[in-house]
């Protein structure tokens, strides 16, 4: 099965640790969606990524091939049983304009509303985006996201 990673699972080291049977298949774009940080995670000390429909935005990411065990591990990590995220099928587009149906996770927003990510969390996303050579304009947008630490400055 195939999975679209757009948040901290872009980090290849993290993904290898969480899903040892996975293999990256390449970059992809989820059209008409935007990256948001709708919930807080204590272990990341800030907001964590989600996606939501948005007419004029796109989310860049990577498609991974997963084993059934990998998908079960991601379901647990993403808190499906607790209702933190839901897994849905979406259609993403690869650079050669190929489209593919994949699984991805949508965050259920926390009552407190949008959150800022921690620098550590955002760095994991940026590290993965750079590793997989996502578009420079998208990486620049990621780097411009304000973090929890920016509030202290």
Distance CA 65, CA 135 (A): 21
pLDDT tens digits, 59-77: 999 999 999 999 999 999 9
Question: Does the pLDDT of residue 113 top 90, yes or no?
Answer: no
Fold of 2-152: Hypothetical upf0131 protein ytfp (3.10.490)
Question: Does the pLDDT of residue 153 top 70, yes or no?
Answer: no
Of 114, 141, 120, the closest CA to residue 129 belongs to 141
Distance CA 92, CA 52 (A): 14
The predicted structure's pLDDT at residue 96: 77
The mean pLDDT of 50-62, rounded to a whole number, is 97
The mean pLDDT of 121-129, rounded to a whole number, is 97
The predicted structure's pLDDT at residue 43: 86
The domain ranges of the chain are: 2-152
Question: Does the pLDDT of residue 149 top 90, yes or no?
Answer: no
The predicted structure's pLDDT at residue 3: 98
- Give the residue, 20 or 152, on which the prediction is more confident: 20
Average pLDDT score over the chain: 94
């Amino acid at each position: 099965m195939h999975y679209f990673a757009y948040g901290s699972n872009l980090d290849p080291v993290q993904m290898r640790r969480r899903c040892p049977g996975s293999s990256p298949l390449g970059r992809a774009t989820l059209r008409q969606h935007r990256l948001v940080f709708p919930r807080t995670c204590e272990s990341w000390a800030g907001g964590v990524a989600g996606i939501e429909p948005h007419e004029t935005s796109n989310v860049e990411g990577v498609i991974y091939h997963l084993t059934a065990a990998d998908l079960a591990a991601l379901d647990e990590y993403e808190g499906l049983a607790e209702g933190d995220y839901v897994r849905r099928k979406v259609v993403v587009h690869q650079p050669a304009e190929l489209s593919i149906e994949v699984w991805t996770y949508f965050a259920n927003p926390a009552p407190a509303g949008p959150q800022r990510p921690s620098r550590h969390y955002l760095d994991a996303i940026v590290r993965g985006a750079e590793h997989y050579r996502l578009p420079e304009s998208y990486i620049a947008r990621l780097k411009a996201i304000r973090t929890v630490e920016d509030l202290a400055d």
